[in-house]
Amino acid sequence: MLTSRFEDGLIFAFNLHKTQSRKSIPVPYFAHLMGVASLVLEAGGDEDTAVAALLHDAVEDHGGLPTLLEIRHQFGNRVADIVDLCTDAYQEPKPPWRGRKEQYLAKLRYASPEARLVSVADKLYNVRTTIDALRVDGNNVWDRFNGGKEGTLWYYRALLEVFHFTGSDLITDTYAQAVEVMEQLAE
């Protein structure tokens, strides 16, 4: 069962992200965080992992290492370590996209099972929203992504290879199916 600790994570994440929206669409960014946490819980993640899912973008979007220290202080080492492993940039402006993603892939290959779960849930949510956008906007959707069409497709396929390297489970299989649909729609 979830405790007030999860509620604290919701409030912390809400306060950080409440003014953000998703890439080029009028959907509150907070919807993404709740969706990722939901996927984590549905896949068997515990409360710490679900709190980390709520906070997985906090460090790269809101304050870098000082935010990570605040997460460590408020939610403990386990949550902070998961968030840290799910972070691909600690500074603004962020380093170049491709190099940042390659470093993230290398880090993820040896991440904890909990960090891997948050990452696959995050990417599954992103791929699903990209599929929806492709169905509505067609290939114009790729203009929203720093990696463009080719880079984004490369990244989600490379993530799948890392997820398969680190294990196989229902959420990874669901992610693989979603990537396949996204690739078909991109043709």
Q: Which residues are known to be catalytic? A: 60-61
The distance of Cα 85 from the centroid of its chain, to the nearest Å, equals 11
> Contact 71/58 with Cβ under 8 angstroms?
yes
Q: At 141, which helix (H) or strand (E)?
A: none
Q: At 21, which helix (H) or strand (E)?
A: none
What does the alpha-carbon distance between residue 27 and residue 22 come to, in Å, rounded to a whole number?
A: 6
> Contact 113/82 with Cβ under 8 angstroms?
no
- DSSP per position, 87-139: -S--SSSPPPHHHHHHHHHHHHTT--HHHHHHHHHHHHHHHHHHHHHHHHHGG
Q: Which residue, among 164, 178, 61, 57, has the nearest Cα to 129 in the 3D structure?
A: 178
